[in-house]
Structure 1
């Protein structure tokens, strides 16, 4: 398992995240923990509170960090690594060439190395495409150590294929790194050499549910229109099966503009629609359970869902989030038992 996979530390400039080592060039600064008012970067983290900012510089240097693995990656084995990446369109610093203030806005990419003794990157295991988008997107990479068992994992920013190729001032934002998951080396041929992003892929869907990757419809409750309790139950029936977690246990969410503040936010819009409807019925209570068999993953999913409920302003007296009980099998639930949540409405 990796330590501090979500880079949760006090925000600041030139701060190596706890559990990681700075592998930058001599005389250069470590990466940044974001968001940070000092750097004028307010982008919300994909997971929890903070994330990592890695930059590339116009003097042919770049930032990287390393972590010692509890168990080495074995030679000839394959591992899957998932990570959420984005780019900041405004990332101000000092140019190493001119000595003047510069915007490190050029798109960069992320490289994954295996190595020994901290920052000794012996083999390039994966390289993402250039990260030019400013929204969080999930990348799934396949790593195959071919030389030796590596006991260190290294994350490194490098120059991308942007409008200003070559040594430039750019950045890549990193969040919600997964643990290394052993996989069949033949399961995903092609990811090893040319990893492609998979944007919040939902594997649990039946073909008729595949429309969930389209723009989400706004419910009448989300529009502020009154809905009956029967309509609320119908909303839960149709919406709950589409609420899902990614393989790392993170609740999937999308970006939207809050009509009250006119500010952009990240939230699970399906869950938001249900809570909007629930708020219209003070006597109704929404019971939510997570039927996850893996206790560690269940705890992570429960914590992430709890944080999402708090962020969406769910009322404690109207929402019950608890573990699955044996007697629950006798009740009627709506949702996705395999990888999502189950819900029921009571009074």
Structure 2
């Protein structure tokens, strides 16, 4: 059954054209235009009386909040990951939840490579040194990084983004290892080899994490795992905060146990562990894996499309309720 004139609470600043699409479809749009996505009590107050919720990954929606939003029927999350939403609690209350897969795959894979290059070639460190006015002469043994070409890449999480990362590696003549809980069919993973996680960590020169966050992947990479890696290795996390023990990573970087890291996602973001901020061999970006105009607009538009599905009485094309 089609739902007419539903009220949607938009809890993060999105593109005007996306809001116009909702309004043209008959939604009553309550749009937040601030720099930061709404959180906690502010989100609940903003969404009071709403039928639909449009949120980004920065907004946590838990069971206690859902109890205060009795009119809510659908949540469209802008992002592939949805650990910011208590999906089980939403499902129990009859609330549909959707995400936005596929549209950000290639852009996020690009950032994984950008972080790997920047960390491996010490770009952030050397740029800070240059800007500080310390460049007085050239030294043959100065700012030595590690090679990408011909090295071994390990990918933990061979899903859509992991596959896109692996495809890029072929052009650099890399040996590519991957680890999932179970090996994928060989025809689906040409040119890459499944290995146990411990083997991957020991053999890879560069490790990229692309797993979803769950209790099973919390601190998937901690002190014990970092100790298995080469002292010259580069670790890149574009997965989710909490997949890596950030403090343990900082200690490994500062002690020389690990060569460098590129990190786009953090535990308790936007609050970053002070130990990690102090590690000069860490390249840190503020969760920008999907941050191009085309991709972010595509994500918001897909979230809007899921709301239009719900409004029309159709199944959400990207439902995560299970």
TM value normalised by structure 1: 0.25
Q: Would you tell me which structure has more helix in proportion to its own residues?
A: 2
Q: Would you tell me which structure has more strand in proportion to its own residues?
A: 1
TM value normalised by structure 2: 0.26
Q: Which has the higher contact order (CA 8 A, sep 6+)?
A: 2
